[in-house]
Chains A and B, each alone.
Chain A
Amino acid sequence: MLVFKPRRSKGWIWLVAMALVIIGISAATVLPLLTLPADEVPRGVLVLMASIALFSVPTLALAAWFPTMRYELDEHTLTLRYGPVLTYRIPLHEIQTIRRRNLSISPWSSLRFPGIALFTIPYTDVGNVKMCATAAATGILLVETRKDKYGLTPADEEGLVAALRARIGG
């Protein structure tokens, strides 16, 4: 099995920043309440803000798994992996096209920041793409099957493409 690493990026910084924003919003709401007498502090608001702050945990976990992003190629399958939360398996015989292009991003996004794109992301030009990439839109290696499109950003793009073509006979 061949393993290819993604292009270098600092996308994890955006995930950490996102977690800090979530924590910041919660703290910004809670801190002024601390100036009130203890019996006047609205406990519901404290619980709500603590719940919101919990959303920072998965965001930080995604940042921690950033170094685990990789593309595995065996005789029959190309597998895109990101930590324990993302595994896309692409049977080689189902691949219709492999092309490198820039994608046009849409404001309606799931997990996409400069330097990182994960899970299914809508693009205005090619539709939904299952992303496991260290770029949101630039220089994406787009692998299309009849059912799905996948976006990846291998550091050794020529090596991955050559290995893929050798297996699918392109």
Chain B
Amino acid sequence: MPPIYIMAVITLAVSAGLWGGLVYAWSGCDRHYLWLLLLGLPLSAFVNLMVKKPLVVFVGQAANVPPSQGLATPLWFIIFLLLVPPVTEEAIKLAPLLLPLARRRINSRSGALWTGLALGVSFGLGEAMFVAYGVAQSPQYAAYPWYAFTGYFGERMMVCFCHGVMTAVVIAGLQQGKARAVAGYLAAVGLHALLNLGPVLGQLGLLSATAAGLSLVPSLVVFTLIFEWLRRRAAHGRDSQEVAAEVVYFRRSPDETPQ
């Protein structure tokens, strides 16, 4: 068995436990969202094999751009390569919404947030499997022990969360109406392109592999702030109802001075 598969199993278990646990705990222990974690698993393999790869090959051949030219690649093709994953993946991540099961909770801001996060994390888990499969096909990695792939572990843990936030942005927009849905989708595409910028520059040789990997860290900070903004916005309506339900047990009268 290729050694990366051991690390992939660990990554999937920890990532599903951590991000799934976060969705479960913060959504008020609603098990519905845990089922959503299964729906996006095959989508990464599907979009990579059936959409992205044929599209890039077709456009490259049509424009007569040879693959892997590094800095000699035309700028428009670099931008195209940068945008293909965000445009296709942010769309395919919404595919589970065709099922009534997945749409059930998108009737409130908090439902939209947790549905989006669960579907995005699910896509991220599937992507982790697909990436592991890709690495396992390269004989050069077969000689490494499984614990040499901790870079894969860290990267996939972060990317799972980022996928969740991006899908939450789209579905939060969708919950607000069609115009907001388009705005949410474009925002998610922009965020996704930002996330991929470091690795793309790394592939072109403009960034070292270490710098390309570290570029995920500031992105993670940005995504965490966006998640917190979405979470607070979703909680706002619920909080105002709960504050109304506040129980005052004791209030010292203003003229009563402490002894």
Contact = CB atoms under 8 A, between A and B. Distances in A.
Given A94-B258, A102-B243, A107-B225, A32 B147 contact: yes
B249 A170 contact: yes
Contacts of A98: 248-251
Contacts of A97: 248, 250-252
A170 B150 contact: no
Interface in A41-84: none
- The B interface, classified by DSSP as helix, strand, loop or mixed, is helix
B259 A93 contact: yes
A32 B153 CA distance: 12
Contacts of B258: 93-94, 146
Interface string A1-39: 000000000000000010000001101110110110000
Contacts of B224: 107
Nearest to B22: A114
A138 B207 CA distance: 46
B153 A35 contact: no
A99 interface: yes
A96 B251 contact: yes
- The A interface, classified by DSSP as helix, strand, loop or mixed, is mixed
Interface size class of A (residues with CB under 8 A): 20 to 34
A114 B259 contact: no
Contact of A165 (B154, B225, B249): B249
Interface in B209-259: 224-225, 228, 232, 235, 239, 242-243, 246-252, 258-259
A164 B251 CA distance: 12
B74 interface: no
Contacts of A32: 147-151
B222 to A, nearest CB: 13
Contacts of A29: 150
Nearest to A24: B14
Contacts of A168: 250
Interface of B: 14, 18, 25-26, 144-145, 147-151, 153-154, 224-225, 228, 232, 235, 239, 242-243, 246-252, 258-259
Interface of A: 17, 24-25, 27-29, 31-32, 34-35, 93-102, 104, 107, 114, 124-125, 146, 161, 164-165, 168, 170
8 contacts: A24-B14, A27-B150, A94-B258, A99-B248, A104-B239, A165-B249, A165-B250, A170-B251
